[in-house]
Amino acid sequence: MSVSEGLDVRRGEDADLILRRATVLDPVAAIDGVHDVVIRDGEIAALAAPGEGEAEGAEVVEAEGMHAFPAFFDPHVHLRTPGHQHKEDVETGTRSAAAGGYCGILAMANTDPPVSTAADVTALREQARAGASVPVGFLATVSREMAGEELTEMVELREAGAVGFSDDGLPIVSARLMLRALQYQRLCGGTIALHEEDPELSGAGVMHEGPVSAALGLAGVPSVSESTMIARDAALAAYENARIHVQHLSAAESVAVVRAAKAAGVQISAEASPHHLCLTDEAVRSLDPRRFKMNPPLRHESDRQALIEALRDGTIECVATDHAPHQAEEKDVPFEQAAMGVTGLETAFAALHTELVLPGTIELALLVERMAGGAAPFGVERPSLAPGSEANVALCDLGAEWTVGEDGYESRSQNSWCAGRTLTGRVMVTVAAGQVAFRLRSFSLGVAA
Ligand SMILES: [Zn+2]
Ligand SMILES: [Zn+2]
């Protein structure tokens, strides 16, 4: 088993690399100390005593003072291909992921056309093998063309390599369709990832419903639009003994529902996005849709606190960016009309390190664990720094300050919720599936010994 098994990536040269005197932190493998990380033929060959890793024939990186983490895994990315390559494609999206320290991502299926047939999955997998910097897994839609009426051929889609299923972008409104999807899932595997929202409650809302939406005179989306649908689907998953993953949790009520479902033994996992963990609806007072309009919307401070608590106690097992690229013409319009979504791959770790770890809200080890927590819910092996593992490493300089957007983006789009912010902590090198997937331009790797 390896992280990249079942995912697709462009195969190049296996890394032979020594990260000299790196502070190695892998909480799940109980590794915490200064080591030479010795990477041979794309594997973690050894964690040697500082300065003593065998360097012959390998590139040497002087990593003293830097941190080596298991590279991150993002279960929620929009690569916008096919159909919207002017926003992103497999190549730019995976470059963006590599720059953010990721060794694997899952791509959503709400493309144009949506990923609804085995041929669609096969074509995307070929694209990833031709041009993906980090391994990608593709989800297929639950309903045909995301119309919410008929199921896709889930068994066939799994055989073609779909990692899971999601109609993300839209909820599955019909409880009957949801139930049947869960029945098939039990048969063919593949976690169903759910964008939870009751369209009748969301209505024409463009931000969180509360005092801020009232003050701005904007239509609001109430928290119960999300939590009531999660409650329905948790009950259906329990009834069918099937597995669901709840995407982009945003509200305290939703956290309570997921926590109760887990306590009752439901096979349910959940993710939260960096923007929901760092921002509240107060940011919307700026009326800047490029950075602050997304679905689900930014909610109240009490919701943000509930998400942080859920990240701590494991109710939320992973951070997922919901990286959603849009071009300027879809964003630089009045708030009500602007497209929903923000990019996040390149800034997720740095933003959470800056906003939650440095002030002491959560421990670094917890962040590192949750950044890779999105693999297991989809049956993907968790990245590990234990010797013998496929090399998947994010080398970070936790003291480096940088201003987001100053050097441009690897993504084709610029709607980063962090644009213009100064963050502390930067990914210097990413090794993904045993290959060097990214190195920061200003940071040169050492010479071969
Ligand atoms: Zn969504
Ligand atoms: Zn999404």
pLDDT in tens, 63-78: 999 999 999 999 999 9
Give the Å distance between the CA of 62 and the centre of ligand 1: 41
**For 174-251, where are the alpha helices, taking DSSP H only?**
175-188, 199-202, 211-216, 224-240
Q: Which ligand is nearest to the CA of 171?
A: 1
Give the Å distance between the CA of 433 and the centre of ligand 2: 25
- Has residue 421 got a pLDDT over 90? yes
Structure tokens of 210? 């509360």
Q: What is the band of 312 on the pLDDT scale with cuts at 50, 70, 90? A: very high
Give the Å distance between the CA of 105 and the centre of ligand 1: 16
- Marked catalytic residue, from 16, 198, 281, 322: 322
Residue 444: the pLDDT is 63
Residue 136: the pLDDT is 98
Q: What is the DSSP letter of 323?
A: B
pLDDT in tens, 230-288: 999 999 999 999 999 999 999 999 999 999 999 999 999 999 999 999 999 999 999 99
Q: Which ligand is nearest to the CA of 322?
A: 2
pLDDT in tens, 67-120: 999 999 999 999 999 999 999 999 999 999 999 999 999 999 999 999 999 999
Q: Which ligand is nearest to the CA of 295?
A: 1
Q: What is the band of 445 on the pLDDT scale with cuts at 50, 70, 90? A: low
Torsion of CA 221, 224, 225, 231, to 10 degrees: 160
Give the Å distance between the CA of 339 and the centre of ligand 2: 13
Give the Å distance between the CA of 15 and the centre of ligand 1: 36
Residue 55: the pLDDT is 85
- Has residue 446 got a pLDDT over 60? no
- β pairing state of 267-272 and 243-246: parallel
Residue 442: the pLDDT is 73
pLDDT in tens, 319-374: 999 999 999 999 999 999 999 999 999 999 999 999 999 999 999 999 999 999 99
Mean pLDDT, residues 167-181:
98
Structure tokens of 441? 């331009």
For residues 101 and 134, give the distance between their C-alpha atoms in angstroms, rounded to a whole number. Answer: 10
Q: Which ligand is nearest to the CA of 196?
A: 1
Give the Å distance between the CA of 108 and the centre of ligand 2: 7
Residue 250: the pLDDT is 98
Catalytic residue list contains 322: yes
Give the Å distance between the CA of 169 and the centre of ligand 2: 6
Three-state SS for 310-337 is HHHHCCCCEECCCECCCCHHHHCCCHHH
Mean pLDDT, residues 309-315:
98
Q: Are 200 and 83 in contact (CB under 8 A)?
A: no
Give the Å distance between the CA of 197 and the centre of ligand 1: 9
Give the Å distance between the CA of 177 and the centre of ligand 2: 20
Q: Which ligand is nearest to the CA of 172?
A: 1
